[in-house]
Amino acid sequence: MTTAYLYSPVFLEHKQAGHPEAPERLIAILDTLTETGLRARLTALEPIPATDAQLQAAHTSEHIARVKSLIARGGGHFDPDTYANARSLDAAVLAAGAGVRAVDAVMAGQVDNAFALVRPPGHHAMRSRAMGFCIFNNIAVAAQHALDAHKLERVLIVDYDVHHGNGTQDIFYRSSRVLYFSTHQYPHYPGTGDWRDIGEGESAGFTVNVPLPPRIGDAGFQRIFDDLLFPLAERYRPQLVLVSAGYDAHWSDPLAMENLSIAGYGALARTLVALAREFCDGRIVYTLEGGYNLPALAHGVAATFRALLGDPDTPDPLGASPRDDYDADDIGDYVDQLKGAHRLV
């Protein structure tokens, strides 16, 4: 397997003292990839800034103008959680463009799969506003580029950040060309992602929300991927899989409590790689979202790269959660409920 990673030091220049979405996140990831020998096995691809046309395919021109105006004045806040400094436009446009570059490389067969190690993250950015640490919606820009430039008809976005990707849902809620699948702690920021939110009109059924209580754990997540996501993909037959990869569902993350382990993340990544191999010749692109415990984030990303490279095992230096998982029988009943809601039974 030829696996690419996309990174630029420009991503480190978007920063605000004391904010959890900080440059140290990418530094920890790169250090771990180097120390484990994984970085030497990867193909480095240089990200290219997204064009205005690529941004406008996912965002309103008014939103793009507001972003540029705020940053031209030296930065500030889009909301209490979402900041920008004088270098944030360069970082945000490059983060959006990294997904586009990764899609192009995978679609051309230049590499088998890819992971864009970017910041700021993107999945909370809505068509018309920045929020939740996110300025532009990186995964949505990449997905729309795949639809427009590569003439695809069916793109699957899997979002397993612990927070619901309300921006991605907003952008594709009325589209049947994107199947959006999200697992997220609920109720939790941003408060969206009810299981009854499934799309509108002819696009009903192409948004699949899996809101979760705390402590689902490895077995619960795997059950959801095996028994709900895989059958949905089998029916949809995606031509490309995109992943909004958040590592804040790890048991040690300070912002949530979903109880995943590093080994659990590795198993989910292998499931997604198998899904892509089954339905779209292995074409899968990851984009980094959240994750705020640095060791968990770094080793979670490393576990994902091992899956993309085809390694069968996932070393887990942090071990299993010290907290009990949610009852497995209950999650099985819940999955059955969601399968019924989406006409899989």
pLDDT bucket at 210, cuts 50 / 70 / 90: very high
275 phi and psi angles, rounded to 5 deg: -60, -45
The string of DSSP letters for 20-79 reads SS-THHHHHHHHHHHHTT-GGGSEEE---PPPHHHHHTTS-HHHHHHHHHHHHTTEEEEE
Question: Whole-model pTM?
Answer: 0.98
Distance (Å, whole) CA 144 – CA 159: 16
Q: What is the mean pLDDT of the chain?
A: 97
Report the CATH number of the 3-341 domain: 3.40.800.20
Average pLDDT for residues 32-36, to the nearest whole number?
Answer: 98
Q: Is the pLDDT of residue 139 over 90?
A: yes
pLDDT digits (tens, 9 = 90+) for 116-126: 999 999 999 99
Query: Is 250 annotated in the active site?
Result: no
State whether residue 299 is helix, strand or coil: helix
Report the share of the chain in percent with pLDDT over 70: 100
Residue 37 falls in which region: left (phi positive, over 0), alpha (psi -120 to 50) or beta: left
Contacts of 9 (CB under 8 A, 6+ apart): none
pLDDT digits (tens, 9 = 90+) for 64-81: 999 999 999 999 999 999
The DSSP H or E segment spanning 3 is strand 3-6
Contacts of 330 (CB under 8 A, 6+ apart): none
Which of 14, 59, 63, 124 does the annotation list as catalytic? 124
Average pLDDT for residues 299-318, to the nearest whole number?
Answer: 97
